[in-house]
């Protein structure tokens, strides 16, 4: 049976078929755009530029390398691939497509080997300082350099790779690298001591970087010197302004990070622990800013390679020094002096030496005295005294093959004391407090880079703290001239930590990296307490712990990263195993937006117990978990965040939850009776952060909403109540403005305050807001061979009266009257400073 069209139908189909052919032709023309080339002996670089402008194509090539290739070609091409083949056919060139970019490079003959290793070192232009933990994107895969600025990338081909490097304070570098193991790559810092140098039209990471890992902040130590406050404390000035780190209540020797309890966070310098001196964060700190290079803050949810603590970690890397020239820095203000010298011993080795000390009293009598809720009638006379000094030294030796050896040392000490006296009609109250601290530590580190790209690090670290606290209080009868002792207490606490760590990092594939290691740690603690020369407690404690960890970093494509890991502790004294599994996830939602999620278990065996006396004063001492009276701390972390980074603007929101079990607290009753209690705490909250860079300026702000609660058996009501360091709201804002040669900066902090409990048996408290505004102005000038900076910094501009967490001493004057001796509140203070360097 056939099918026939009538004459009428055939005449109708003709225009329809013609229309279909026309549509197909138009669509073919759209989908197969022709690229026309018509040139005769023209330099290839000019041809590429012309094609780019005419057809909106994207090419990447070495301009000087292709300029000598003269192209003669007259043809049209329907695809970009065909065009690229024709352009390089007659020359020793090859091409690859990377996303939308056609990359032209010198022809590289293929070999049978499909595995290539690309490695190198990222350094700072001018100072030749290694740039540790620089963020790299290699062919779209994210990684970081090690402590010596080295990186290794294993690829399955011998082709060029696309490298993008970013480090805080430096301009971003975007380049191509050939397979090689000896790349030396310099990043240009924002401020370079060459007045004729002008850099424009480039992006810079100049202050803070967030979101590379869950709960992580990377800070640029270069900008710390322009922050308001004492330059000798610029590192802590910078830390306290970050979201999640309490500005209104940091201890002189501790940081409160995401509601962490006293002693659960760690500050490390080149691998050894900084226990902290009295040192008064707002005046002078145990970290010398002259030797600081890189600051990484791990607020929570960190991976299995990190040390055993249940709070946060601040990991500080010291400078390696300039191996090309001698350098020196001198800083002088109206309280302290700071100096640093760096000497190249060879083109591979350097030596750095730094020294600081106070030469003028940091405190005036009125600085220490704070009134209680019930004002007192009679004046209290206070005589404070504070001395501080410390010393840093570092020797660094770098090998051509990427090996690194260094020895980093620290020694420091301080002494704080005050005499307080209040004269009343019938008697006089005397209070004398003396606190001495000595701290030392060091690390010997050797990192080996193997030929296959594997890296092994050996680290031997030692640190110690010796703390001695004495308190005397007496009542003098003015009528009969008799003296009655009320308090005569002494606390001695010594801590020693010795550790050896071996870690390995192996790259099997661009999408697969494995890290594993083992650590042996020995701690010793000496505790001593007496009252009226009667020994109440004397203990010599020690333990030995062996720890192993392993974690796998797996990337699925260029969008999803997963890092499972586990940390296993073997506690030798009680022969017990502790398992701490951890997991983090990262998703690049887009090139601007990243999502992070992390959680796990965390342990801590060297812990700080709190001691509360009958007046409500807190003391803290280091002790060792014995799994009987002092349990090991166990904490659960969960954190999630969303980070937006759009060139000059970045923002983030992070939520967290922490629960910690095994907290210990000694309650001292009257007649020197005491009892130990074991409790728990929980903390949760959310941090908002936004930062804007414009021109040479930067402004950022953060808001923290949090709740930290604790529960101990001695509470009258067995329900959670606010921890002494709990603060509901904290708002911080900072601005840094570079009007070369002037730099102006400000910082604003408002906190809703901490609960000041009247008694350990009562849950009623008073709460006072915290407010402080600081400003700074710096002038930079080149004086011959010297780089000079002079400036003024005003702390607590409006002289707000603030009470910080656990920073005061309660002195009972009567049944209804108490005075606070507050040794850390900072009144209106002006710092004038001068810095010289070459």
Structure tokens at 428: 């006089």
Distance of CA 23 to the CA centre of its chain: 61
pLDDT tens sequence across 273-283: 998 755 544 55
Q: Are 353 and 340 in contact (CB under 8 A)?
A: yes
Average pLDDT on 35-39 reads 87
Statement to judge: residues 506 and 604 lie in one domain: yes
Least confident interval from 161-170, 717-726, 728-737: 161-170
Statement to judge: residues 142 and 92 lie in one domain: no
First-to-last alpha carbon distance for the chain, in angstroms, is 101
> Residue 271: inside a domain, yes or no?
yes
Statement to judge: residues 236 and 359 lie in one domain: yes
Q: What is the 3-state secondary structure (H, E, C) of 681-730?
A: EEEEEEEEEEEEEECCEEEEEEEEEEEEEEECCCCCCCCCEECCCCCCEE
Residues 6+ apart with CB under 8 A from 282: 229, 230, 233, 236, 237, 795, 824, 826
Q: Give the residue among 611, 693, 614, 704 at the shortest CA–CA distance from 653.
A: 704
Whether the per-residue pLDDT at 770 is higher than 60: the answer is yes
Segments forming the whole domain that contains residue 122: 116-199
Q: What is the pLDDT of residue 199?
A: 38
> Residue 17: inside a domain, yes or no?
no
- Tell me the H-state helices in 412-488: none
For 132, which DSSP code? T
Whether the per-residue pLDDT at 499 is higher than 50: the answer is yes
Q: Give the residue among 172, 169, 222, 163 at the shortest CA–CA distance from 202.
A: 172
Among the three residues 106, 132, 159, which one is the final residue of a domain in this structure? 106
Torsions phi, psi for 73 (to 5 deg): -160, 135
Torsions phi, psi for 815 (to 5 deg): -65, -35
Better-predicted residue by pLDDT, 461 or 168: 461
Angle at which helices 44-55 and 80-88 cross, to 10°? 170
Q: What is the pLDDT of residue 372?
A: 43
Instruction: List the CATH number of the domain containing 270.
Output: 2.40.170.20
Instruction: State the average pLDDT for the chain.
Output: 81
Q: What is the pLDDT of residue 207?
A: 55
Residues 6+ apart with CB under 8 A from 503: 305, 456, 457, 459, 515, 516, 517
Whether the per-residue pLDDT at 267 is higher than 70: the answer is yes
Better-predicted residue by pLDDT, 721 or 28: 721
> Residue 596: inside a domain, yes or no?
yes
Instruction: List the CATH number of the domain containing 69.
Output: 3.55.50.30
Statement to judge: residues 238 and 320 lie in one domain: yes
Statement to judge: residues 133 and 238 lie in one domain: no
pLDDT tens sequence across 333-370: 888 899 999 999 988 899 999 999 887 665 555 555 54
- Alpha-carbon distance 61 to 70, whole Å? 15
Instruction: List the CATH number of the domain containing 194.
Output: 2.60.40.1120
Prior bond of 741 cis (ω within 30°): yes
Better-predicted residue by pLDDT, 107 or 748: 748
Neighbours of 192 (CB within 10 A): 13
Structure tokens at 833: 């400073």
- Alpha-carbon distance 150 to 171, whole Å? 18
Statement to judge: residues 69 and 189 lie in one domain: no
Q: What is the pLDDT of residue 120?
A: 78
- Alpha-carbon distance 410 to 38, whole Å? 69
pLDDT tens sequence across 424-479: 777 888 888 888 989 999 999 999 888 777 889 999 999 999 999 898 888 888 77
Q: What is the pLDDT of residue 396?
A: 94
Statement to judge: residues 190 and 239 lie in one domain: no
Q: What is the pLDDT of residue 234?
A: 74
Among the three residues 47, 81, 106, which one is the final residue of a domain in this structure? 106
Statement to judge: residues 497 and 634 lie in one domain: yes
> Residue 650: inside a domain, yes or no?
yes
Report the range out of 1-15, 107-121, 399-413, 676-690 with the highest average pLDDT: 676-690
Residues 6+ apart with CB under 8 A from 574: 626, 627
Q: What is the pLDDT of residue 320?
A: 87
- Alpha-carbon distance 684 to 698, whole Å? 30
Q: What is the pLDDT of residue 190?
A: 63
Whether the per-residue pLDDT at 62 is higher than 60: the answer is yes
Statement to judge: residues 633 and 660 lie in one domain: yes
Q: Give the residue among 668, 654, 732, 651 at the shortest CA–CA distance from 530.
A: 668
> Residue 274: inside a domain, yes or no?
yes
Ordered strands of the 369-370 beta sheet = 369-370, 817-822, 808-814
Statement to judge: residues 100 and 136 lie in one domain: no
Structure tokens at 81: 């691939």
DSSP string, 312-349: -EEEEEE----SSS-EEEEEEESSEEEEEEEEESSSSE
Q: Show the beta-strand stretches assigned E in 336-479.
A: 336-344, 349-358, 369-370, 380-398, 404-423, 427-449, 455-477
Statement to judge: residues 151 and 129 lie in one domain: yes
Q: What is the pLDDT of residue 462?
A: 97
Among the three residues 164, 199, 234, which one is the final residue of a domain in this structure? 199
In the block, tokens 């000694």 appear at 666
> Residue 1: inside a domain, yes or no?
no
Q: What is the pLDDT of residue 136?
A: 78
> Residue 235: inside a domain, yes or no?
yes
> Residue 322: inside a domain, yes or no?
yes
Counted residue by residue, the chain has a size of: 838
For 528, which DSSP code? E
Q: Give the residue among 774, 726, 720, 724 at the shortest CA–CA distance from 751.
A: 726
Least confident interval from 98-112, 304-318, 776-790: 98-112
Structure tokens at 332: 């002088």
Percent share of the chain, pLDDT over 70? 82
- Alpha-carbon distance 179 to 106, whole Å? 12
pTM of the model: 0.78
Statement to judge: residues 130 and 46 lie in one domain: no
Domain count, the chain: 3
Q: What is the pLDDT of residue 615?
A: 64
Neighbours of 376 (CB within 10 A): 17
- Alpha-carbon distance 799 to 780, whole Å? 28
Q: What is the pLDDT of residue 641?
A: 93
Average pLDDT on 624-646 reads 90
């Amino acid at each position: 049976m056939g099918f026939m069209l009538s004459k009428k139908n055939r005449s109708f189909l003709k225009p329809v078929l013609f229309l279909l052919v026309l549509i197909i032709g138009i669509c073919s023309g759209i989908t197969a755009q022709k690229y026309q080339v018509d040139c005769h002996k023209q330099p290839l670089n000019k041809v590429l530029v012309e094609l780019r402008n005419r057809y909106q194509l994207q090419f990447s090539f070495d301009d000087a390398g292709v300029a000598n290739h003269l192209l003669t070609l007259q043809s049209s091409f329907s695809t970009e691939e065909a065009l690229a083949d024709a352009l390089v056919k007659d020359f020793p060139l090859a091409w690859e497509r990377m996303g939308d970019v056609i990359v032209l490079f010198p022809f590289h003959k293929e070999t049978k080997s499909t595995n290539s290793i690309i490695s190198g070192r990222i350094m700072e232009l001018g100072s030749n300082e290694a740039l540790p933990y620089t963020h790299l994107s290699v062919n779209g895969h994210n990684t970081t350099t090690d402590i010596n600025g080295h990186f290794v990338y294993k690829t399955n081909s011998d082709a060029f790779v696309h490298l993008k490097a970013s480090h805080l304070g430096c301009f971003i570098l975007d380049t191509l690298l050939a397979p090689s193991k000896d790349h030396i790559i310099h990043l240009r810092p924002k401020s370079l001591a060459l007045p004729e140098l002008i850099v424009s039209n480039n992006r810079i990471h100049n202050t803070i970087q967030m979101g590379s890992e869950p709960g992580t902040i990377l800070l640029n130590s270069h900008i710390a010197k322009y922050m308001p406050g004492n330059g000798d404390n610029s590192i802590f000035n910078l830390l306290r302004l970050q979201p999640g780190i309490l500005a209104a209540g940091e201890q002189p020797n501790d940081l409160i990070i995401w509601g962490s309890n006293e002693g659960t966070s760690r500050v490390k310098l080149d691998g050894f622990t900084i226990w902290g001196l009295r040192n008064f964060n707002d005046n002078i700190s145990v970290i010398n800013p002259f030797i600081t290079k890189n600051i990484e803050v791990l607020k929570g949810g960190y991976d299995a390679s990190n040390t055993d603590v249940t709070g946060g970690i601040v990991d500080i890397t010291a400078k390696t020094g300039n191996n090309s020239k001698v350098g020196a820095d001198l800083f002088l203000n109206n309280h302290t002096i700071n100096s640093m010298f760096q000497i190249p011993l060879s083109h591979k080795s350097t030596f750095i030496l730094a020294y600081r000390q106070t030469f003028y009293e940091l405190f005036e009598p009125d600085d220490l005295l704070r009134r209680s809720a019930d004002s007192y009638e009679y004046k209290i006379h206070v005589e404070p005294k504070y001395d501080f000094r410390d010393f840093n030294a570092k020797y660094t030796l770098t090998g051509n093959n990427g090996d690194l050896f260094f020895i980093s040392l620290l020694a420091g000490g301080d002494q704080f004391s005050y005499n307080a006296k209040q004269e009343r009609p019938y008697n006089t109250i005397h209070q004398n407090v003396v606190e001495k601290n000595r701290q030392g530590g060091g690390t010997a580190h050797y990192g080996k880079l193997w030929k296959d790209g594997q890296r092994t690090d050996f680290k031997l670290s030692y640190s110690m703290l010796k703390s001695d606290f004495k308190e005397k209080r007496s009542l003098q009868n003015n009528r009969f001239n008799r003296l009655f002792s009320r308090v005569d207490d002494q606390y001695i606490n010594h801590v020693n930590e010795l550790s050896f760590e071996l870690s390995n990092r192996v790259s099997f594939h661009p999408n697969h990296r494995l890290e594993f290691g083992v650590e042996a740690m020995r701690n010793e603690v000496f505790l001593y307490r007496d009252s009226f020369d009667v020994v109440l407690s004397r203990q010599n404690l020690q333990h030995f712990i062996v720890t192993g960890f392993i974690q796998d970093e797996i990337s699925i494509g260029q969008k999803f990263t997963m890092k499972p890991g586990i940390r296993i502790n073997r506690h030798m004294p009680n022969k017990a195993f502790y398992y701490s599994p951890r997991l983090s996830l990262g998703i690049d939602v887009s090139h601007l937006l990243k999502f992070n999620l992390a959680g796990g278990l965390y342990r801590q065996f060297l812990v700080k117990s709190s001691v509360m006396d009958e007046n409500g004063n807190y003391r803290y001492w280091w002790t060792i978990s014995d799994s009987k009276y002092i349990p090991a701390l166990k904490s659960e972390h969960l954190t999630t965040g969303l980070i937006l980074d759009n060139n000059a603007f970045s923002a983030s929101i992070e939520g967290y939850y922490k629960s910690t079990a095994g907290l210990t607290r000694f309650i001292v009753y009257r007649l020197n009776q005491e009892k130990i209690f074991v409790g728990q705490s929980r903390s949760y909250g959310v941090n908002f952060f936004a930062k804007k860079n414009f021109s040479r300026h930067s402004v950022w702000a953060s808001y923290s909403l949090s709740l930290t609660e604790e529960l101990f058996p001695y509470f009258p009501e067995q329900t959670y109540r606010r921890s002494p360091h709990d603060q509901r709201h904290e708002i911080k804002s900072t601005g840094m403005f570079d009007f070369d040669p002037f730099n102006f900066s400000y910082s604003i902090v408002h906190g809703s305050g901490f609960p000041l409990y009247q008694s350990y048996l009562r849950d009623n408290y008073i709460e006072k807001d915290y407010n402080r505004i600081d400003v700074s102005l710096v002038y930079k000038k080149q004086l011959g061979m010297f780089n000079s900076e002079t400036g003024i910094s005003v702390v607590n501009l409006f002289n707000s009266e603030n009470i910080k967490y656990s920073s005061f001493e309660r002195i009972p004057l009567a049944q209804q009257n108490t005075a606070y001796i507050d040794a850390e509140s900072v009144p209106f203070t002006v710092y004038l400073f001068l810095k010289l360097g070459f």
